[in-house]
Amino acid sequence: MKKLFVFLSVLFFSITSFAQTPSIVQKIRLPLWAELDAYPEIVSEEDINSEVYAYPIEQLHQIAPFILGGMIYGWDFVYTPMDKARGVEEYFEITEIQPLTSQDKITYSSPWLQNNKLNCWCEFTRNEFQIQNYYLWSSIQNPSIQGLGYGSVYLGFEGIKEAAKDAVKQAVREHYRTLIKNKPQEITGSVLIKKMPTMGIDAGRYMIKLDFFLEYGRIKEYTEYWFFFRGTFMKKMLILFTCLFAFSTMIFAQESDTKEIPIAGAAYDSEQFEAEKTKTEIIIPENQHTTDSTATVRIEYMPMYDEIRIYYECMYVTYDKGEAMNTVLACLEDFQLEHKYFRYRYLRDDKERFFKDDRGRRKAQYISHLQFER
């Protein structure tokens, strides 16, 4: 009986604790604070509205929309890693995906003073669109990342913003280090704050810890490689390569005089073969088989190899993987009949891609790579 009682007690405590765990999906209740000089420990809302507290109130009215914007809509980022070999300085910037407007009402309540800080609760209730947006971030396979950032306490709100920016940079850098071997030229993407942020002061600096959902953007690799010749050894190597190049040019010039003139027909066949080998036809199916009005289907067909890549693309907010798969299968059946193929096989696993187009709209893409057989 004692064991049963202990088990039930633990079970009840676990259920109670879980039920008390705050959720930020619908209603956000965020404790925030701003620095000020020493004041009494208790303050009324009338005092808070006085000019004595104008500066910390102004700071709170800047901090709250910034942090809540990162929790509701998220931030875009651009990151250029430092590369000493190429003389590239590190660059990192975040921008709000969608700033909060006057219709996004923030409520400030229950102010109090503690440890030379003006504290209050900032409350915000998400609308249906904002709730759906949060579930899209969390349901699609966006990885979770975490960062700890610091900013100067003397900068006020700008110091908080600096710390948040540093937290995003640390999280993004540590995540991509596990994915990319060589330093890229630029990384872009988006993040959404998924949990309550933790803020404090450490050694005279603002400290903020943030957890995010990460939405992959674009990874731009370097296309040119620069070599820096330093020291006597590298200069000698440069001279040696120059001499070898000049010698090779002379040998090539002598051999060119004795070469036979190629047959025109053979050259034409070779050129035609090379052209056919790399030929890709872009096909837009007449019957798209889509139920999503924002969706389109495009096929890249390589006749030489009987290979195709088929792309299903639609708006991010309307994307449904099951709908994408059904549409692709229907278009593949039409393509198979039209080109008189017997069957097909998948060359790679199907992929999902989420990105922003040239107009900044969020898009989703479902891609299949197949080979047909006659």
Any domain includes 269: no
The answer on 186 and 111 residing in a single domain is yes
The answer on 73 and 215 residing in a single domain is yes
Domain that holds residue 55: 23-220
- Give the model's confidence band at 55: pLDDT under 50 very low, under 70 low, under 90 confident, else very high: confident
Q: What is the pTM of this model?
A: 0.54
pLDDT digits (tens, 9 = 90+) for 142-165: 899 999 999 988 888 888 999 999
Question: Which is higher by pLDDT, 31 or 1?
Answer: 31
Question: Which is higher by pLDDT, 17 or 338?
Answer: 338
* 3-class state of residue 202 by DSSP: strand
Any domain includes 91: yes
- Give the model's confidence band at 78: pLDDT under 50 very low, under 70 low, under 90 confident, else very high: very high
149/169 Cα distance (integer angstroms)? 8
pLDDT at 237: 65
* 3-class state of residue 218 by DSSP: strand
Q: Which has the closest alpha carbon to 25: 148, 119, 110, 137?
A: 137
Domain's final residue, options 220, 245, 271: 220
pLDDT at 230: 42
Domain's final residue, options 220, 252, 270: 220
pLDDT at 138: 87
pLDDT digits (tens, 9 = 90+) for 287-338: 999 988 899 999 999 888 889 999 999 999 889 888 899 999 999 999 999 9
The answer on 293 and 208 residing in a single domain is no
For residue 35, pLDDT beyond 70: yes
Domain's final residue, options 171, 194, 220: 220
The answer on 46 and 150 residing in a single domain is yes
The answer on 200 and 107 residing in a single domain is yes
pLDDT at 201: 86
pLDDT at 322: 87
pLDDT at 238: 65
* 3-class state of residue 205 by DSSP: strand
pLDDT at 164: 94
For residue 175, pLDDT beyond 90: yes
The answer on 151 and 40 residing in a single domain is yes
Any domain includes 62: yes
pLDDT digits (tens, 9 = 90+) for 210-269: 999 999 888 888 874 444 434 444 555 667 677 677 667 666 555 555 444 454 455 556
CA distances to 89, 155, 366 from 224, in Å: 17, 40, 31
The answer on 55 and 168 residing in a single domain is yes
Specify the range with the lowest mean pLDDT, choosing from 12-26, 128-142, 188-202: 12-26
Helix (H) or strand (E) holding 298: strand 296-302
The answer on 58 and 163 residing in a single domain is yes
The answer on 287 and 215 residing in a single domain is no
Any domain includes 4: no
Residues whose CB falls within 8 Å of the CB of residue 352, separated by 6 or more in sequence, listed in order = 140, 141, 321, 364, 365, 366, 367
Residues whose CB falls within 8 Å of the CB of residue 363, separated by 6 or more in sequence, listed in order = 313, 314, 315, 316, 354, 355, 356, 357
Any domain includes 7: no
The answer on 214 and 332 residing in a single domain is no
Q: What is the C-alpha R_g of the chain?
A: 30
Number of alpha helices (DSSP H) and beta strands (DSSP E) in the chain: 8, 15
The answer on 313 and 215 residing in a single domain is no
pLDDT at 374: 81
Any domain includes 353: yes
The count of structural domains within the chain is 2
Any domain includes 234: no
The answer on 289 and 190 residing in a single domain is no
